[in-house]
Amino acid sequence: MSLKKGEELTLRIDSAAFKGKGVGRIDNIAIFVQNTTPGDLVKARIIKKKKKYREAKLLEVLEPGEKRIPPKCKHADICGGCSWQHIPYDYQLEIKRDQVTDHLQRIGGFKDLMPNPVIGSEQAFHYRNKMEYSFGDRRWLTEEEINSGKEIKDKDVAVGLHVPGRFDRILNLEECYLQIPVSYQIMDFVRSFALENDIPPYNTIKHTGFFRNVAIRNSYHTDDLMVNIVTYRDNESIMNDLKEKLLQSFPDITTIVNNVNDTKSPVATGRYEKIYYGPGFIRDSIGPYTFKIHSNAFFQTNTKQAEKLYDVALNFAAIQPDDLVYDLYCGVGTLTLYTSSKAYKVVGIEVNDVAIENARFNAKENEVSNVEFRLGDMKDVFKDELIAEFGKPDVIITDPPRSGMHPDVVEKLKDLRVSRLVYVSCNSSTMARDLAELAEIYDINEVQPVDMFPQTYHIENVVCLTLKK
């Protein structure tokens, strides 16, 4: 069988692959199909042909597998926010563990290394503490709408999430189960406000319009609720009117800010910010530490699971009272502070200057005096000069970005030969690559997956490494 692009076929899905796609095989050629689950018999169309595999679009589920369930959200088949809603949560955790195992064995070469069962989230829905909804003037139309022949009156105003792979198309959300319900309700209110007042959304091609994003933050441990309206222009008249109406309908809102992004950059942050109501930030905590969270500050998206993740890291680190700890890729210092009570001193290193400012502020706010932070690219800062300034660490915690660690950083970790090393990862494939190098010096003792993002294929891991004897 040639399996050419555009060809339709019937396929039995027999396993799940990384990034959440189901996999079937014809003539030993793997065919990846989104929105499927093992056991499904599907009709699909080849959309991409590669030498060793094909990618296909799901056309119809002819026979659902035993594990398939109806998605909770009506947008699940199109939206990229929750690509696994058709899979029961306990089975999601099994698949995620299998994927980590595959990466450890296939990429890392650890044939006998098995990760622990995944630590699941208490909340399978409504677990996010932040959502960024996008405005657009090109609404994604369903096949039913296109084939109906009817005029689509609201096709020029959409608010929701980008359709996967399409920066220019917005899926107009009519429900969402990622954040607490009021999040979607506020988003829908702002959409109605725009339509009623004929205020156009931002156009990414012409760079015209007003509304760009609605971002909602809520605190897990307090009642704080932030609404951040990202606009292309500064217009106090529109914003004051929107503020008054938002507060009338949603009195639980504690702060409203306006980020003005008058650049071509598509990010949901502004070149400058104006506060229209409240303090301009919310507060939340991880463990005993409280954090002031501004509209553009990074904070772990699943607060409760972040505490579980940090507890695992702290347990693996086995920090002693006189230990010097290095926290590589420390971000805003949440994990740095979390470990500080156990250590003599913790040094955090981060490339983002805003994150470092926030980290220093967080340390001061929490009256933590045994932490220091250094700004710079890890491969440039994590060198002998840093060791000479602070001393050789007893424990290192590293939490790199999805791309993993730079080879120079890996070599420095091998050279330092610290007694205990904890690797926190958001990408098990690059983690496995890095661990294969570190295994020359360190024993890989334990791998603990922690699910921060239910209904998606993403999985965090914490790895315990100790120096070989």
Instruction: Provide the CATH number for the domain around residue 31.
Output: 2.40.50.140
Tell me the per-residue pLDDT of 97-139, one tens digit each, with 9 for 90 and over. Answer: 999 999 999 999 999 999 999 999 999 999 999 999 999 887 7
Q: Give the pLDDT band (50/70/90) at residue 292.
A: confident
**Is the domain of 403 the same as that of 329?**
yes
* Token pair in block for residue 110: 């650890």
Between 206 and 119, the higher pLDDT residue: 119
Ramachandran angles phi, psi of 19, nearest 5°:
70, 15
CA–CA dist 183, 190 (Å, integer)? 11
Is position 411 within any domain?
yes
Q: Give the pLDDT band (50/70/90) at residue 167.
A: low
> Domain of 358: which CATH number?
3.40.50.150
**Is the domain of 443 the same as that of 304?**
yes
Question: Average pLDDT of 48-53?
Answer: 88
Is position 334 within any domain?
yes
Print the SS3 string covering the chain.
CCCCCCCEEEEECCEECHHHCEEEEECCEEEEECCCCCCCEEEEEEEEECCCEEEEEEEEEEECCCCCCCCCCCCCCCCCCCCCCCCCHHHHHHHHHHHHHHHHHHCCCCCCCCCCCCECCCCCCCCECEEEEEEECCECCCHHHHHHCCCCCCCCCEEEEECCCCCCCEEECCCCCCECHHHHHHHHHHHHHHHHCCCCECECCCCECCEEEEEEEECCCCCCEEEEEEECCCCHHHHHHHHHHHHHHCCCCCEEEEEECCCCCCCCCCCEEEEEECCCEEEEEECCEEEEEECCCCCCCCHHHHHHHHHHHHHHHCCCCCCEEEEECCCCCHHHHHHHCCCCEEEEEECCHHHHHHHHHHHHHCCCCCEEEEECCHHHHCCHHHHHHHCCCCEEEECCCCCCCCHHHHHHHHHHCCCEEEEEECCHHHHHHHHHHHCCCEEEEEEEEECCCCCCCCCEEEEEEEECC
Q: Give the pLDDT band (50/70/90) at residue 453.
A: very high
The four Cα atoms 455, 457, 460, 465 give a dihedral, to 10 degrees, of: 140
**Is the domain of 290 the same as that of 307?**
no
**Catalytic status, residue 426:** yes
Q: Is 165 left (phi over 0), alpha (psi -120 to 50) or beta?
A: left
**Is the domain of 263 the same as that of 310?**
no
Full residue range of the structural domain in which residue 63 is found: 8-68
**Is the domain of 318 the same as that of 458?**
yes
pLDDT beyond 60 at 1: no
Last residue of a domain, one of 294, 326, 353: 294
Q: Give the pLDDT band (50/70/90) at residue 397.
A: very high
Question: Average pLDDT of 295-305?
Answer: 90
Q: Give the pLDDT band (50/70/90) at residue 464.
A: very high
Q: What's the burial of 273, exposed, middle or buried (CB within 10 Å: 0-12/13-18/19+)?
A: middle
Average pLDDT, the chain: 92
Which of 79, 82, 426, 464 is labelled catalytic? 426
Q: What confidence score (pLDDT) does residue 142 get? A: 66
Q: What's the burial of 8, exposed, middle or buried (CB within 10 Å: 0-12/13-18/19+)?
A: exposed
Is position 308 within any domain?
yes
pLDDT beyond 90 at 380: yes
CA distances from 112 to 47, 116, 118, 444, 446 (A): 37, 13, 18, 11, 12
* Token pair in block for residue 306: 């972040």
CA–CA dist 215, 131 (Å, integer)? 6
The four Cα atoms 262, 265, 270, 272 give a dihedral, to 10 degrees, of: -60
Is position 82 within any domain?
no
Q: Which residues of 444-461 are buried (b: 16+ CB within 10 A; e: fewer)?
A: bebbbbbbbbbbbbbbbb
> Domain of 266: which CATH number?
2.40.50.1070
- Name the residue with tokens 């932070």: 373
Is position 85 within any domain?
no
**Is the domain of 183 the same as that of 43?**
no
Is position 445 within any domain?
yes
Q: Which residues of 323-342 are buried (b: 16+ CB within 10 A; e: fewer)?
A: bbbbbbbbbbbbbbbbbbeb
Is position 81 within any domain?
no
**Is the domain of 136 the same as that of 117?**
no
Provide the domain count of the chain.
3
Q: What confidence score (pLDDT) does residue 77 get? A: 81
Strand 41-49 vs strand 22-26: parallel, antiparallel, or unpaired? unpaired
Q: Give the pLDDT band (50/70/90) at residue 152.
A: low
Question: Average pLDDT of 256-281?
Answer: 93
**Is the domain of 258 the same as that of 392?**
no
**Is the domain of 323 the same as that of 403?**
yes
Last residue of a domain, one of 294, 324, 343: 294
Is position 448 within any domain?
yes
Last residue of a domain, one of 68, 87, 109: 68
Mean pLDDT lowest for which of 36-45, 145-154, 337-346, 371-380?
145-154
Q: Which residues of 213-222 are buried (b: 16+ CB within 10 A; e: fewer)?
A: bbbbbbbbee
**Is the domain of 367 the same as that of 317?**
yes
Mean pLDDT lowest for which of 68-72, 149-153, 284-288?
149-153
**Is the domain of 55 the same as that of 140?**
no
Q: Widest CA span of the chain, in angstroms?
A: 73
**Is the domain of 119 the same as that of 179?**
no
pLDDT beyond 80 at 361: yes
